[in-house]
């Protein structure tokens, strides 16, 4: 029920996360005035449109919340500490309590909270207990609170979908414990966002809980099988009685390392049924949730756009600085990310990045890039001799040696997709964000989606070469940006000196 009229200023917490980032984009596109709250708002610079404001706020810092919530009509509470260390329940309760008190003090009209669907009487999952406890705290604040309790969310980049995707793509044979047969009611991310936006126009001032799920009730095993069928992957599933949730989380850590932080919490919550028991949401909201197959197909269609939109691991609470061997695994993908700072402002730093490749070269060890191109041609690939359309500017769809421009957002972001032979899929992304001293931070990220064992062997066999080339390339891009900045400043000074007013 999108509206082109604003419902008053809307605050979205967790805007750097999977659901929050998508919600901000949707609300802004529908004409709402949106403010994003984040601990490090500079990381969101350039991600959203002009009618989206950024505010610094931390649920562990009550003073910052008062400032972020000032003048807000509706606040979305989408903060989740699943990837945090320490006492998850205590952290989530303390953060919710701080937010609730600040929201009441600032006169917020309504809080909309996205929690988890599961047995409220179960004590097996700290994750689920904390989700429900947060809802209770928000409802007790005195601010009318709409709590959506959602089952498994299916969408490209969601934590649940990444788990399924990683297991099915990596393992031709899977050991299946009993707990994966617990029933859930998976819901597509598009339907979740529809519920969240329609809640803005819902009349009344009572605090209410709505259970939301998709059109079907299935188990995690069913989801894996359905994903495999749709993705064209034949897999063998072997029933075993001895994999407890604890052992399963250790196994997940070995198979998909990103779950090292969240594995046990995630498995504990999966082992609890998440079935919709109330029809209240379907009665009040104009949402007709799609089925599992349609949700999976939609997620597969969006997979190549993971970098264009948000990813669950973008959230600060679950993000990692990838400085382990070979990069950090994010689901079944591998991410190698590094940052350099420069005194050049963002537009000038981005201009240097935009000139990469072609006759300009790759800023470091260009001869190695050319050698890689020769090997690629021998394997039937495109090689490195295609050059580029224009030496100074790029546009979406442009060929760039062995890459193609997937997305460009001046002066903040350039995303390239590999067209060489890489035994999987690969992207190279450059992000430029402003620094407090007027300069820039440049983040260079290589993302690789390996296909099977051959893909993993390919990536790790090139690990040392990547360290050499990627470090040198980023370092020289930062230096070139500073050199260009100084050169332009010198030219401007010289022109000023010889103008009539300067004689």
**8 A C-beta contact, residue 318 and residue 335:** no
Between the CA of residue 150 and those of 47, 141, 242, 350, what are the distances in Å? 26, 22, 29, 40
What whole-number distance in Å separates Cα of residue 326 and Cα of residue 462?
A: 9
Which DSSP helix (H) or strand (E) runs through 284?
helix 280-284
Q: Residue 251: its pLDDT value, please?
A: 61
Q: How far is CA 168 from the centre of its chain?
A: 21
SS3 content of the chain, % helix, strand, coil (to 5): 45, 20, 35
Closest CA to 133 of 87, 179, 202: 87
What is the rounded CA–CA span in Å between residue 403 and residue 405? 7
- Residue 485, pLDDT score: 87
User: Taking the chain (503 residues) in consecutive chunks of 10 residues, what is each chunk's mean pLDDT?
Assistant: 59 88 92 91 77 90 92 93 64 92 95 87 69 92 94 84 78 79 92 96 91 93 91 85 61 55 58 86 93 92 58 44 52 81 95 94 92 88 90 93 93 93 90 93 90 79 90 96 86 69 51
* Structural Rg of the chain based on CA atoms: 24
Domains belonging to the chain, first-starting first, are: 10-314 (3.40.50.720), 328-490 (3.30.530.20)
pLDDT at residue 310, as a whole number: 47
* Alpha carbon distance 165, 233 (integer Å): 11
Give the pLDDT of residue 24.
Answer: 93
Closest CA to 135 of 119, 106, 112: 112
**How far is Cα 224 from Cα 175, in angstroms, rounded to an integer?**
12
pLDDT of amino acid 179: 74
pLDDT confidence of residue 320: 41
Q: What distance, in Å, lies between the first and last C-alpha atoms of the chain? A: 65
């Amino acid at each position: 029920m999108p509206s082109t009229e604003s419902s008053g200023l809307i605050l979205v917490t967790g805007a750097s996360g999977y659901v929050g980032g998508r919600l901000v984009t949707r609300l802004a596109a529908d004409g709402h005035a949106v403010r994003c709250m984040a601990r490090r708002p500079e990381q969101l610079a350039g991600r959203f449109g002009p009618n989206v404001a950024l505010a610094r706020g931390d649920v562990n810092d009550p003073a910052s919340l008062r400032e972020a919530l000032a003048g807000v009509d509706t606040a979305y509470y989408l903060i989740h500490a699943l990837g945090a260390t320490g006492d998850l329940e205590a952290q989530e309760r303390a953060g919710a309590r701080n937010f609730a008190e600040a929201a009441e003090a600032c006169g917020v009209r309504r809080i909309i909270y996205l929690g988890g669907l599961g047995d409220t009487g179960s004590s097996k999952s700290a994750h689920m207990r904390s989700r429900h406890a947060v809802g209770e705290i928000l409802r007790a604040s005195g601010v009318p609170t709409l709590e959506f309790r959602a089952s498994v969310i299916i969408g490209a980049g969601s934590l649940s979908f990444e788990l399924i995707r990683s297991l099915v793509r990596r393992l031709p044979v899977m050991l299946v414990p009993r707990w994966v047969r617990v029933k859930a009611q998976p819901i597509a991310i598009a339907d979740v966002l529809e519920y969240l936006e329609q809640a803005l126009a819902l009349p009344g001032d009572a605090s209410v809980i709505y259970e939301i799920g998709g059109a079907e009730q299935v188990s995690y095993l069913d989801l894996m099988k359905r994903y495999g069928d749709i993705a064209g992957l034949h897999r063998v599933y072997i029933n075993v009685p001895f994999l407890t949730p604890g052992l399963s989380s250790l196994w997940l850590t070995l198979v998909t390392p990103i779950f090292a932080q969240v594995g046990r919490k995630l498995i504990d919550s999966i082992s609890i049924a998440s079935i919709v028991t109330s029809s209240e949401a379907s009665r009040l909201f104009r949402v007709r949730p799609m089925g599992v197959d349609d949700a999976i197909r939609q997620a597969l269609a969006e997979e190549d756009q993971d970098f264009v939109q948000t990813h669950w691991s973008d959230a600060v609470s679950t993000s990692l600085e990838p400085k382990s061997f070979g990069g950090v695994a994010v689901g079944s993908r591998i991410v190698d990310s590094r940052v350099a700072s420069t005194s050049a402002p963002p537009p000038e730093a981005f201009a240097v990045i935009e000139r990469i490749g072609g006759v300009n070269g790759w800023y470091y060890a260009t001869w190695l890039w050319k050698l890689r191109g020769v090997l690629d041609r021998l394997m039937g690939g495109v090689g490195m001799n295609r050059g580029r359309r224009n030496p100074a500017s790029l546009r979406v769809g442009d060929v760039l040696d062995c890459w193609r421009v997937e997305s460009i957002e001046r002066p903040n972001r350039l995303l390239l997709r590999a067209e060489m032979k890489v035994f999987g899929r690969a992207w190279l992304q450059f992000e430029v964000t402003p620094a407090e001293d007027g300069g820039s931070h440049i983040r260079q990220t290589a993302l690789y989606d390996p296909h099977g064992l051959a893909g993993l062997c390919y990536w790790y066999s090139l690990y040392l070469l990547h360290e050499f080339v990627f470090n040198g390339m980023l370092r020289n891009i930062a230096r070139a940006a500073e050199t260009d900045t100084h050169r332009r400043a010198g030219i401007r000074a010289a022109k000023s000196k010889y103008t009539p007013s300067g004689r």
